[in-house]
Amino acid sequence: MAITSGANRDRPDAHAHAQTTTALAPDEVSAPAEGGEPAEADESGDRKPRRRRRWRRVRIALVIVGGVVVAAAFALRSPSPVGHWDSAEGQDRFLAAYDAAFADLPEPAETIDVRTEFGIVRVYRFAGTGAATARPPLVLLPGRASASPVWADNLPSLLRIGDVYTIDLLGEPGMSVQERPITSDADQAAWLHQTLDALPEESFHLVGLSIGGWTAANLVLHEPAHVASLTLIDPVYVFAGMPFETIVRSLPASVSWLPRSWRDSFNSYTAGGAPVEDEPVADMIEAGMQHYRLKLPQPTRISEERLATIELPVLAIIAGRSVMHDSQAAAETAERALPDAMVRVYPDASHAVNGEHPDEIAADIAALVATVE
């Protein structure tokens, strides 16, 4: 069941001023959040012109893995069992930065809010620009605290492959709204499966960046029905563990009341030393890190034995200079566990590989997709 109303970027529980599609998962069990009615349409539909493409040497490492590692243990705790904003002002700051960063994306053809057992999941559909639009679309899962705007540099080349959906991860800063606790890897797979199940297509080429890569692999291990292929872009907790130095460096980044410079230092470290610039997507991630309280379980490292059970076509992209794992060990694990996979090591890439090598990534994904047809 779907209620159509078009291209809204407001949160489902906020006042709305553009069109949206709200889809209900078939096995919906939760009631709408208070104030969570679908948005009304905006007459204008105007957008700011696309800014010059710069990938912003922001290179903010897109994931902000400090939250992945230690948010549960070191961030200030609150009694709420679900992810939430610490204040209306903090949420407003994030939404303003999100909107500014979203202006760098192509105009979405459709905005969809999918009700799942665990909350409302924000999905954007972008119409492909190439000839092969009949194939299963791509579904992009971002890194921690980055949401859909993090794909700005990737969408132009990916849209030449076909239609693209982007998803704001549930329980993360973004337009998705968590309503019930997510307490296990199975729960993480369940909300994503329910989201894909509510979309009109039967199957999808799943693409995950960093923690989004773990989320994609976790889905395939629990609920693979809608996945045609799997692309993992420098995923964490999939092919190798996280180095101790990265864990230690991430601790200050996970404490919201410490100065921004501490988080910028960690983000620069994950991006190979590149400076963090004053850039909308960087401001968005900073606002999310500072004002959103994650309530998610620690991801379980995926063992080689479990990886070996994946029978789908897989592309593994490993950043040669990533600080999130030992890149050589990660590549070797991928080759052992998934002998039929396409394993690509980008030697000069940092963990911000998607912004550094968007065209190469698109070419590798196109090659993977071609094997499925």
C-alpha 302/C-alpha 262 separation (Å) is: 30
Give domain status of residue 362, yes or no.
yes
Q: Is residue 317 part of a domain?
A: yes
In a domain, 261, yes or no: yes
* Residue 108 lies in domain: 2-30+57-372
Q: Low-confidence residues of the chain, pLDDT below 50?
A: 1-5, 7, 14-20, 22, 25-76
Maximum C-alpha span of the chain? 54
pTM: 0.81
The Cα–Cα gap between 174 and 278 comes to 20
DSSP of 279-322: -HHHHHHHHHHHHEE---PPPPPPPHHHHTT--S-EEEEEETT-
214-246 pLDDT, tens digit per residue, is: 999 999 999 999 999 999 999 999 999 776 565
Cα-based angle 246, 315, 217 (whole degrees, multiple of 5): 65
Q: What are the DSSP calls for 114-146, one per residue?
A: EEETTEEEEEEEE---SS--SSPPEEEE--TTT
Asked if 223 contacts 302 with a C-beta cutoff of 8 angstroms, the reply is no
Find where tokens 């982007």 sit: 166
Residues 6 or more apart in contact with residue 85 via CB below 8 angstroms: 91, 94, 291, 292, 293
Report if residue 173 sits inside a domain.
Answer: yes
In this structure, what DSSP letter does residue 337 have?
A: H
The CATH number of residue 289's host domain is 3.40.50.1820
With H, G, I as helix, E, B as strand and everything else as coil, classify residue 154.
Answer: coil
Other CB atoms within 10 A of residue 345 CB: 16
Tell whether 51 is covered by a domain. Answer: no
From the list 298, 267, 297, the residue with the least C-alpha distance to 285 is 267
Is residue 41 a part of any domain in this protein? no
Interatomic CA distance for residues 216 and 97, integer angstroms: 26
Residue 49 domain flag: no
Can you give the pLDDT at residue 80?
87
Count of domains observed in the chain: 1
What distance in Å separates the CA atoms of residue 297 and residue 188, rounded to the nearest whole number? 9
91 within a domain of the structure (yes/no): yes
Q: Is 3 helix (H, G, I), strand (E, B) or coil?
A: strand
The residue type found at 325 is H
Residue 223: name the closest of 63, 3, 25, 2 by CA. 25
Give strand ranges (E) for 33-191. Answer: 84-85, 110-116, 119-126, 138-141, 164-167, 177-178
